[in-house]
Structure 1
Amino acid sequence: MLEECRLPYIMKPVNIATGDQFKPEFLAISPNNRMPAIVDPDGPGGRPISVFESGAILQYLGRKTGKFYPADERGRTAVEEWLFWQMGGLGPMAGQAHHFRIYAPEKLQYAIDRYTNEVHRLFGVMNIRLKDRPFLAGKYSIADMACVGWVSRWERQGQDINEFPRLKRWLETVMARPAVERGMKLRVEEASKVDMKDPNVQALLFRQRARTA
């Protein structure tokens, strides 16, 4: 979204393998200790504002710029339906598929099948939706931006994108957008060096319980 709107930004990596996500200064921005989170120094009233959760960030930037988030109620509702569909369905289910297929210390076939099948079902929902429209809400929007990152990882989720020809067409169209290409190229060098099989890293990422303070 930042690239699509040509908004200036500084990317500040958070090293989740060493616990940076639990530092007080980050929790002040993102109390759920997850990425992404943003700080807009030019927020409402000219004062800084922090926003966490990708859906909330996309809505905020859409309202701020007037781009990719319709102002009319009917158009906005269509975008929000698919934005929340991603937040409550595609993202969590694909994330669990990633976890049990790739990162879980033991292979639990039931869990692998459960989440692989659910992602397959969700891909089917998108494929049907795209039957008579180029994008999820008709026009390209923050709903497409929210979904493309997950769909682009279809192999990691145990899917064959060729089973879903309309979804494949949508994915190729979105991925070919210059702003999406620029955004997808952003990588943190240190992240590629994280050993996800390291017990200490797994404890930080997968075995957290509630913190009381």
Structure 2
Amino acid sequence: MQNEKQQNEIISKGKEMGQKVFAQTKEATSQAIKALKILSRDPIGGQSEALKNLGQSNALRAGIVLVVIFSISCFLLGHSIVSESQEVGQYMGGMAGTYFKLLLFSLIPSASVFVCFFLIMKLISQEKEEISTCIYTTGVSTLPLAVLFFCIKIFGLSNFELLSAIGIFCLSTTFFLINSSMQDIYKLSTQKSFLITPTLVLLAGVVSNVLYSALI
């Protein structure tokens, strides 16, 4: 009787926790959609407007959703590469090891970009240090890359001309978004933003490479 009561309590707590997670996920998704609507009207200059309209807590939720989207795109891209190369799959430790490492690898690019934004906010920007701002700008800046990676997954690596056009557009948009965030959100001068934007991309690549090397 007591065991049955404990089981019912566990089930009840599980349902309650599930409902809370669902509600939080739904709220975060709605905030991300709200931010995307603003960005769709003004992809470059709308970052600051969206951040102000959302507020720090909602910007954090929206940023997390966008980062998750980018991480999923990284996972799918990695899966496509591994699926087409048996040698890579064996090198990563078989099927189970492959999926586990792909999961870790898919989180590294977002983490690297976040670290770079955080360092800029802490060391260069005069704005108040807000983790939510760094996560938000990470999510927004990586969104074009997520689109590119999803396109690679959908159209395949063989569609070189189409992917080249999409790639140029997405990469240039990424640079514009980073540069815009430097000026409008982190309040850096045009000259500093111009210099820091490629530096951030390069540094994120270096950090990612170091983390990849440590995990392989």
Question: What is the TM-score normalised by the length of structure 1?
Answer: 0.34
Question: What is the TM-score normalised by the length of structure 2?
Answer: 0.34
Query: Which structure exhibits the higher relative contact order, with contacts defined as CA atoms closer than 8 Å and separated by 6 or more residues?
Result: 2
The structure with the greater share of residues assigned to helix is 2
The structure with the larger Rg is 2
